[in-house]
């Protein structure tokens, strides 16, 4: 009886969580606001779908409602830091990041660079949500990288032309990470937005070189892991070449299970080490 009651309560909670979560319907709403609002509408719809697929009903519903408000031209701005229970070790960086974003928005970023500004706000809210969970480093890194990459575009678009002429060479974007499943070199769904971000940064910043370093976790044979890391970076290189990036701009190194980003004992399967790191170099 108790088990049935618990099941009924869980089912009711599930149905309640799914209420007001017509993600396709919200995605299909006509945009009534600005171009910035339209970018938020799309971005928040994507976030809602991603959280729904991970069975995070609370955040799926939250981002669905944000998408709906954006479509109606009634966005309320990036989520306040106090709304999330953020870990101490990430609070300082994300606080500065939010201040930089708001400064760019206040300087006209929403109007001068609406698409990038929309991606900036969505990336920030995504970063906050993943940082609060603090269980999927891949997702934290992806949201963080998307935020910084989009913010850099907004900041460049709002800078006065005369200031840009006198300024030092444009800073390169933050490094980006492309993660892989265990014992796999296949680019998954989460990898493709990162590939798109790399291509956009390449077109925007014209780096002299893009450095790619391939890793594998320390589970399994070291020689096999070297080959697996090479297969991973080969997959990334192919995707970048397919998007028009010249192979002469790509510098490749294979680290395998050596000097991995997340230090572990031998034999440990660690998601953070199944990765290709991508850094942009200005050649100076």
pLDDT digits (tens, 9 = 90+) for 18-54: 445 799 999 999 999 999 999 999 999 999 999 999 8
pLDDT over 90 percentage in the chain: 58
Q: Is 88 helix (H, G, I), strand (E, B) or coil?
A: helix
How far is it, in rounded angstroms, from Cα 250 to Cα 212? Answer: 7
**Is the same domain home to 151 and 190?**
no
Q: Give me the mean pLDDT over the 212-236 stretch.
A: 95
How far is it, in rounded angstroms, from Cα 174 to Cα 165? Answer: 23
**Predicted confidence band of residue 172 (pLDDT cuts 50, 70, 90):** confident
Spatial contact of 134 and 88, defined as CB atoms under 8 Å apart: no
How far is it, in rounded angstroms, from Cα 216 to Cα 136? Answer: 17
pLDDT per position as a tens digit, 45-82? 999 999 999 899 999 999 999 999 999 999 999 999 99
| pTM of the complete model | 0.61
Higher pLDDT, 40 or 136: 40
- Name the least confident of 23-32, 102-111, 175-184, 223-232: 175-184
Spatial contact of 198 and 244, defined as CB atoms under 8 Å apart: no
pLDDT reported for residue 174 = 76
**Is the same domain home to 142 and 202?**
no
Residue finishing a domain among 137, 161, 185? 161
**Is the same domain home to 151 and 186?**
no
How far is it, in rounded angstroms, from Cα 194 to Cα 62? Answer: 24
**Predicted confidence band of residue 283 (pLDDT cuts 50, 70, 90):** low
**Is the same domain home to 108 and 188?**
no
**Is the same domain home to 117 and 174?**
no
In the chain, how many domains are there? 2
**Is the same domain home to 194 and 112?**
no
Spatial contact of 247 and 199, defined as CB atoms under 8 Å apart: no
Work out the mean pLDDT of the chain and round it to a whole number.
86
Rounded (10°) CA dihedral 98, 100, 102, 107: -170
**Is the same domain home to 115 and 238?**
no
Range of the domain at 205: 169-281
* CATH code assigned at 248: 3.30.1330.60
Whether 17 shows a pLDDT value over 70: the answer reads no
Question: Sign of the C-alpha dihedral, residues 133, 136, 141, 142?
Answer: negative
Q: Is 212 helix (H, G, I), strand (E, B) or coil?
A: strand
pLDDT reported for residue 193 = 80
**Is the same domain home to 155 and 181?**
no
Half-sphere exposure in the Cβ direction for 252 (13 Å, CA): 17
């Amino acid at each position: 009886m108790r088990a049935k009651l618990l099941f009924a309560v869980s089912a009711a909670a599930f149905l309640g969580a799914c209420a007001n979560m017509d993600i396709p319907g919200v995605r299909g709403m006509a945009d009534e606001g600005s171009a910035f609002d339209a970018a938020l509408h799309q971005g928040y719809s994507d976030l809602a779908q991603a959280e729904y697929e991970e069975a995070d009903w609370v955040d799926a519903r939250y981002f669905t409602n944000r998408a709906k408000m954006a479509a109606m031209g009634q966005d309320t701005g990036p989520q306040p830091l106090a709304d999330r229970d953020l870990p101490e070790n990430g609070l300082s960086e994300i606080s500065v990041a939010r201040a930089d974003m708001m400064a760019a928005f206040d300087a006209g970023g929403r109007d001068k660079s609406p698409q990038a500004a929309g991606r900036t706000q969505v990336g920030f809210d995504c970063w906050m949500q993943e940082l609060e969970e603090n269980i999927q480093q891949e997702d934290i890194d992806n949201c963080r990288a998307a935020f910084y990459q989009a913010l850099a575009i907004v900041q460049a678009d709002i800078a006065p032309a005369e200031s840009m002429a006198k300024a030092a060479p444009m800073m390169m974007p933050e490094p980006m990470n492309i993660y892989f499943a265990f014992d796999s070199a296949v680019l998954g769904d989460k990898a493709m937005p990162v590939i798109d971000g790399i291509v956009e940064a390449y077109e925007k910043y014209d780096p002299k070189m893009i450095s790619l370093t391939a890793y594998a976790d320390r589970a399994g044979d070291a020689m096999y892991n070297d080959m697996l890391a090479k297969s991973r970076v080969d997959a990334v290189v192919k995707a970048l070449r397919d998007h028009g990036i010249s192979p002469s701009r790509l510098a490749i190194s294979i680290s395998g299970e050596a000097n991995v980003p997340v230090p572990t004992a031998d034999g440990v399967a660690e998601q953070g080490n199944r990765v290709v790191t991508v850094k942009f170099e200005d050649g100076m």
